[in-house]
Amino acid sequence: MPAQMDYEMEALLDGLQEFGAKDFANSAILFMDVDHFRQLSMSLVTGEAEELFRQLIARIRQEVRHDDVVKQVGRDSFVVIQRNFHSKDALFDMCLRLLRTAHEPFKIRSYPILIRFSIGVAAPDASLGLEALLRRAQIALQVQKNAGGAGFRFYTPLLENDLARQNTIIGELAAALEDDEQIVVHYQPLVTREGLSVVGREALIRWQHPSAGLLSPADFLPAAEGAGLIHPLGQYVLQHAARLGRRCPNEYVAVNISPLQCRSVSFAEQAEATVKRAGCVPEQFELEVTEHFLLDEEQALATILDLRCRGFHIVLDDFGAGYCNLAYLRRFPIDKLKIDRQFIHGLDRDERSFEIVKALIDLGHALNLRVTAEGVETQRQLDLLQDTECDELQGFLLGRPSPAAEDSQAEPLRRTLA
C-alpha cells in the first residue's frame, strides 16, 4: 500500500475511536465512496455537499440495523460497520439495498442530483483487527472504483493483484499519453440500409500496449475514468476524428463521449474549437452518449443543449441496453438512436427480437430520430434488417474497425495534446 493510504488509515482509526470500546469481532466492514465526487462538487455551492451527505446518511441508516455504525470518514466516503454478521448472503443483500439508496435523485436545490457510489466489503475474520479489516475493505473499494465504480466488491486476496495491475495500467496509460505511437484510433464504417453505402465512421480508441498488445477500451477506459485521464484521451480522439473529418468531408464522424467529459463546463466550447481548428464544422460530427451519461440529468441536459447549439448531432448509443428509461427520449433533444447489439444478435435466434427491433425503429421515427442498428454480424441479420425501415447499419459484416488509411501521417500525439 502506498504511504498515503497508511496516513489515511490513521485518520480513519481516529475517526472511529469513539466506537473503539465496543467489540468489533464478528463485524463486517463496508467502505463506501461517491463516484467522481470531485467533478460533481464543482457544480455545488457552499453547503450543498453537506446537505447531500446528510440525506445520503439518512437513507443509509434506514437500510442498516440500529446498532450498526454509520460514519462519514472523509469528504465523500463512509464506513458502515455491520455488527453480528451472520451470512455473506445477507451482507450481499445489504450492499444491493445500499446501492439502491442512490437510485432516487437527491433534492438539494430546485432540481435533482443523481449520484452513484461504490462499496468495498470485508467480511469478518477473527484473526484480524479493525485496521486490517478496514484495509481490506479499502482495497476492494479501490478495485471496484478502478473498474468503473457504481457497484460493490467483496475482498478476496486475489484483489490485491488486481489492484496492483490497475495501478500499473494507470501509470502506463499516463506515460502512453506522452508517446506518439501507443494510443490509436480505429474507425468503423456506418452504412445506409438501402444501398449499403458508407455515410460515416465511428472512432473507437485502442491502446497499442508495448507488451500486452492491442488493448480494447474495456481494458483501460474504466481505470482512465477513475484517474481523470479520460479528458486528455477524449480530447485526443476528437482531434484525431476531426482530422479524418477534414480528409473525408462527405462522411460524418461519430465520437463516443464519456459522462465525465461533459461534467467539465468548457467541454462543448472545447469540442467546437477542436473541430474548427481542423477545418471542419460541428455539423459533421455525431457525439455518442449512453443512458449512463443521461443519469446526471441536469448537467447532461446542459451539455447536450450547448453541443447542439454549436451544431453537433447527438446519438443515444446502446439504446435499450440499460435502464431504458423512455422518459429520456422526451426530455433530451437527441438526433439519433443506436439500437443495442443484443437485439440485433437476437435476430438470429428468436422472432421476438425482430418485433422489438421493428418497434424500436418505429419509436425512433415517431420521434423524428434517425435509427442505426449496431452489431450486424450475419447475413441473416442483414436480410431481416432489410425488411425494416432502419436508416443505417454498423457491424463486423459491413466493416470492422480499422486504422484510417492515412494514419501514418497523423500528427504526433504530444503536439496535438498541447
Contacts with ligand C2E by CB under 6 A lie at: 188, 203-205, 216-218, 221, 234, 237, 256-258, 288, 317-318, 341, 375-377, 394-396, 401
Closest approach of Cβ 140 to Mg ion, in Å?
30
Helix (H) / strand (E) containing 299? helix 297-309
What's the CA gap between 44 and 111, in Å, rounded? 12
Q: Which partner from the list ligand C2E, Mg ion, none does 323 bind, CB cut-off 5 to 8 Å by kind?
A: none
Choose the one of ligand C2E, Mg ion, none that binds residue 204, judging by a C-beta under 5 to 8 angstroms depending on kind. Answer: ligand C2E
Tally the C-alpha atoms within 13 A of residue 158's C-alpha that lie toward its C-beta. 2
Residue 168's identity, in one-letter code, is: T
> Closer to ligand C2E at the Cβ: 167 or 378?
378
- What's the closest the beta carbon of residue 242 comes to ligand C2E, in angstroms? 13
- Least distance (Å) between residue 108 CB and ligand C2E: 28
Q: Which does 140 bind (CB under 5 to 8 A by kind): Mg ion, ligand C2E, none?
A: none
Q: Given the complex with Mg ion, which of 108 and 287 has the nearer CB atom?
A: 287
Residue ranges in contact with Mg ion by CB under 5 A? 256, 288, 317-318
CB 6 → ligand C2E: shortest distance, Å?
Answer: 34
The distance of closest approach from Cβ of residue 341 to Mg ion in the complex, given in angstroms and rounded to an integer, is 7
311 sits in the region (left: phi over 0; alpha: psi -120 to 50; else beta) called left
Contact 394, 375 (CB under 8 A): yes
Residue nearest to Mg ion (CB): 288
Cβ proximity to ligand C2E, 125 vs 377, nearer residue: 377
Matching residue, cell 460524418: 252
H or E segment and range at residue 107: strand 106-107
Which of 180, 234, 237, 184 lies closest to 207 in space, CA to CA? 184
Question: Of 135 and 338, which has the nearer Cβ to Mg ion?
Answer: 338
Mapped onto helix, strand or coil, the DSSP state of residue 113 is: strand
| Grid coordinates of 168 | 500499473
CA distance 358 to 260: 33
Nearer to ligand C2E among residue 200 and residue 395 (C-beta) = 395
The Cβ-side half-sphere exposure at 358, using a 13 Å CA radius, reads 10
Output the smallest distance, CB 339 to ligand C2E, in A.
Answer: 11
Which partner in Mg ion, ligand C2E, none is near 77 (CB below 5 to 8 A by kind)? none
Give which of ligand C2E, Mg ion, none residue 384 binds (C-beta under 5 to 8 Å, depending on kind). none
CB of 303 to ligand C2E, least distance (A): 14
Task: Indicate the residue among 79 and 169 with the shorter CB distance to ligand C2E.
Answer: 169
| Cell 473529418 belongs to residue | 245
Q: How far apart (Å, rounded) are the C-alpha atoms in residues 55 and 91?
A: 23
Q: One-letter amino acid identity for 4?
A: Q
Task: List the beta strands (DSSP E) in 117-159.
Answer: 117-122, 151-154
240 vs 308 by CB, closer to ligand C2E = 240
